[in-house]
């Protein structure tokens, strides 16, 4: 954009943005003639994608601010009113991030001004509570203001439909079209007006109570909590987020000795004790590890700011080991299916779901117990969509459990998004069960490896910032499709799966359209030993993610299997480091 175009775009934004903080940012940049920064803020409009909004907080059309929230919500309101003839309603929740409460209120007031009854949580609440509330209140749609585990400069919101899951076709594309047609004009009203007209209803305990009861009722072996619970100490960190609002309450009811990391139990959008509030990262769990070590705890758990992802640590050979999402998912899949079978409660047609970048180990375990396995694209909305399809279908399929490698799981179907709160409960129960059987959590995991084969996965993320970064990402993905590497490390490429085209290219060069999933910008390499490498641009961040998974055969001694697989992983990592553009 030229400087004149940038000035016009900035002035147009200022004519519609009312919040002084965001106005001042842009006014200061204009006075300083900081055209480089103005270009980053105005060269495009923050994209409303298939899941909603996410971006850096700040003034400008390429930032998260009240104006962009109102504009996006106006488009969503237009779609709701065009889809539902009467009685439309929406539920809005928010996490602990900076301005989350403001953005949630702005969204609620836009709904109210468009005649859509808005249920607004009085205070921050986890994402799974929002999903539960949409179903509980029979709402048409829902929004949770969050940027999940992203760094503190980010915020955003995710959109849900009446089934409690994030929107999928046709609603997602319909909403996007409406948002694009808004052109910055949105309706709103004051909070006082909305309350007086009954178009804004503030909620808390009427949802919190039933949600907490639901989580406790999902227990498969409730007797474990009174019999084994007093023997264990659990250290928990909410990482300055929403988990603190409901999880300690549930643990107290279950009789679990929960020790909070006090400095991280205070909601704070600046996340002052961590560089990134992501329980996947060791640095985010360091304070909890120190406390768990000092208190000689038996289990360490953490949730991200909107409490939909869970991190877990277990003591092993005198040290704390942080399990990854694939490892925890294997333990939970085995515990849930084995327990249901032993208790005679396994459905006639049980279903397990995970994603194309999640370990195959989960699938092997689920199939062992007679479950039908479905693999979907990355994004928990696709798991939520499958659950709805099973409910509406006539085949009698019943969802049991599912998850993603990125620490997101869902047991049962009362919520339709990943739920770290209920996952904490079932994880503690799983640990208590193994304790009652005389084994540790790590011993249980190693037993799974010995039975099904040792698996190891890595994830490499590369960030590409700004306009130039987006172009680099597009070029890189295009080149992977047209000129894929014939070897990755020491392993040869035998199949190339292109999820954008829905095709598989075989070793003889033949191409078959055989992938029955929605089109997605994902490329997956299948190597000659069964290892896989998946390349996927993030749908919520300016980065490309590289997933690699390697396996050794079942029955191989565990230490030998680890050496074999680690060598393969290292070779793949070196090869990927050479492929990724700088």
Read out DSSP for 137-178? TT-SEEEEE--TTS-TTEEEEEEEETTSSBP-TTHHHHHHHH
What is the model's pLDDT at position 410?
Answer: 98
CA distance 251 to 234: 10
Q: Cα angle at 212 between 208 and 214, to 5 degrees?
A: 120
CA dihedral 500, 501, 507, 512 (to 10 degrees): 150
* Residues 557 and 454: beta-carbon distance below 8 Å: no
Confidence band, pLDDT 50/70/90 cuts, at residue 539: low
Q: Is 332 exposed, middle or buried (0-12, 13-18, 19+ CB in 10 A)?
A: buried
Instruction: Give yes or no for a contact between 510 and 529, defined as CB atoms under 8 angstroms apart.
Output: no
Let me know: does 359 contact 530? Beta carbons within 8 Å: no
Instruction: Give the residue from 49, 161, 95 showing the smallest Cα distance to 303.
Output: 95
First to last CA, the chain: 25
Active site residues: 148
For the chain, what is the mean pLDDT?
94
The pTM of the full predicted model, rounded to 2 decimals, is 0.93
φ/ψ region of 184 (left if φ > 0, alpha if ψ in -120 to 50, else beta) reads: left
Angle, CA of 555, 558 and 559, to the nearest 5°: 140
- The mean pLDDT value for 183-191 works out to 90
Cα distances (Å, whole numbers) of residue 6 to 10, 11, 33, 34, 406: 6, 9, 10, 10, 39
Task: Summarize pLDDT for 408-446 with one digit per residue, the tens.
Answer: 999 999 999 999 999 999 999 999 999 999 999 999 999
Q: Which residues are within 8 A (CB) of 276 and not within 5 positions of it... i.e. 6 or more apart?
A: 149, 150, 151, 283, 284
The answer, yes or no, to whether residue 548 has pLDDT greater than 90, is: yes
In this predicted structure, what is the pLDDT of residue 559? Answer: 93
**Residues sharing a CB contact under 8 Å with residue 172, sequence separation 6 or more, in sequence order:** 50, 51, 159
Could you give the percent of the chain with pLDDT greater than 90? 85
* Percentage of the chain modeled with pLDDT above 70: 99
- Identify which has the larger pLDDT, 556 or 211: 211
pLDDT in tens, 83-125: 998 999 999 999 999 999 999 999 999 999 999 999 999 999 9
Map residue 264 onto helix, strand or coil: helix
- Residue 472: pLDDT band (50, 70, 90) is confident
Query: For residues 45 and 576, what is the distance between their CA atoms, to the nearest angstrom?
Result: 32
Q: Per-residue pLDDT tens for 263-306?
A: 999 999 999 999 999 998 999 999 999 999 999 999 999 999 99
3-state secondary structure of 512: strand
Q: Provide the b/e sequence for 286-308 (b: ≥16 CB within 10 Å).
A: ebbbebbeeeebbbbbbbbbbbb
pLDDT at 533 over 90: yes
Least confident of 45-49, 390-394, 468-472, 568-572: 468-472
Length of the chain: 582
In DSSP terms, 89 is beta-bridged to: 117
pLDDT, position 48 = 85
Question: According to the model, what pLDDT value does residue 540 have?
Answer: 58
What pLDDT shows up at residue 581? 81
**CATH numbers and ranges of domains, the chain:** 1-43 (no CATH), 45-210 (3.40.120.10), 229-320 (3.40.120.10), 326-418 (3.40.120.10), 455-579 (3.30.310.50)
Is residue 185 over pLDDT 90? no
């Amino acid at each position: 954009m030229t400087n004149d175009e940038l000035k016009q775009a900035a002035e147009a934004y200022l004519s519609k943005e009312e919040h002084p903080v965001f106005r001042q940012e842009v006014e200061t940049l204009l006075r300083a003639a900081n055209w480089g920064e103005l270009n980053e803020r105005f060269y495009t409009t923050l994209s409303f994608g298939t899941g909603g909004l996410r971006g850096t907080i700040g003034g400008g059309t390429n930032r998260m601010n009240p104006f962009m929230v109102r504009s996006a919500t106006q488009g969503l309101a237009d779609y709701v009113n065009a889809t539902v003839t009467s009685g439309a309603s929406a539920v809005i929740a928010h996490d602990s991030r900076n301005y989350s409460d403001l953005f949630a209120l702005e969204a609620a007031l836009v709904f109210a001004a468009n005649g859509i009854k808005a249920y607004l949580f009085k205070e921050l609440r986890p994402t799974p509570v929002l999903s539960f509330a949409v179903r509980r209140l029979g709402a048409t749609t829902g929004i949770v203001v969050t940027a999940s585990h992203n760094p503190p400069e980010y915020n955003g919101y995710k959109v849900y439909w009446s089934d409690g899951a994030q929107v999928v076709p046709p609603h997602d594309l319909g909403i996007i079209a409406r948002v694009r047609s808004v052109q910055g004009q949105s309706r709103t009203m004051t909070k006082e007006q909305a309350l007086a007209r009954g178009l804004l209803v503030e909620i808390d305990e009427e949802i919190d109570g039933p949600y907490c009861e639901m989580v406790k009722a999902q227990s498969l072996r409730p007797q474990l909590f009174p019999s084994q619970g007093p023997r264990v100490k659990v250290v928990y960190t909410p990482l300055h987020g929403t988990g603190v609002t409901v999880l300690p309450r549930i643990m107290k009811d279950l009789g679990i000795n929960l020790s909070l990391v006090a400095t991280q139990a205070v909601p704070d959008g600046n996340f002052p004790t961590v560089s990134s509030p992501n329980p996947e990262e060791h640095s985010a769990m360091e304070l909890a590890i120190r406390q768990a070590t000092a208190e000689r705890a038996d289990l360490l758990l953490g949730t991200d700011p909107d409490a939909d992802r869970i991190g877990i640590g277990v003591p092993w050979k005198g040290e704390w080991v942080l399990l990854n999402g694939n490892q925890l998912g294997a333990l939970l899949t085995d515990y849930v299916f084995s327990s249901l079978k032993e208790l005679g409660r396994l459905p006639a047609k049980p279903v397990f779901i995970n994603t194309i970048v999640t370990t195959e180990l989960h699938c092997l375990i689920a199939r062992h117990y007679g479950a039908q396995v479905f693999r979907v694209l990355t994004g928990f909305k696709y798991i939520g969509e499958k659950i709805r399809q099973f409910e509406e279908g006539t085949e009698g399929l019943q969802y049991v459990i599912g998850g993603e490698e990125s620490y997101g799981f869902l047991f049962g179907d009362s919520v339709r998004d990943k739920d770290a709160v209920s996952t904490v409960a079932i994880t503690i129960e799983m640990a208590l069960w193994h304790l009652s059987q005389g084994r540790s959590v790590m011993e249980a995991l190693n037993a799974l490896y010995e039975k099904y084969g040792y698996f190891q996965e890595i994830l490499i993320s590369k960030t590409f910032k700004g306009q130039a970064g987006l172009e680099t990402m597009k070029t890189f993905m295009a080149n992977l499709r047209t000129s894929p590497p014939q070897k990755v490390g020491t392993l040869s490429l035998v199949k190339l799966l292109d999820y954008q085209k829905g095709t598989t290219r075989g070793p003889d060069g033949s191409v078959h359209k055989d992938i029955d999933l929605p089109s997605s910008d994902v490329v997956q390499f299948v190597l000659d030993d069964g290892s896989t490498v998946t390349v996927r641009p993030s749908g919520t961040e300016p980065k490309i993610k590289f997933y690699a998974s390697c396996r050794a055969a079942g029955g191989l001694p565990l230490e030998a299997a680890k050496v074999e697989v680690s060598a393969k992983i290292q070779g793949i990592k070196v090869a990927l480091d050479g492929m990724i553009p700088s």
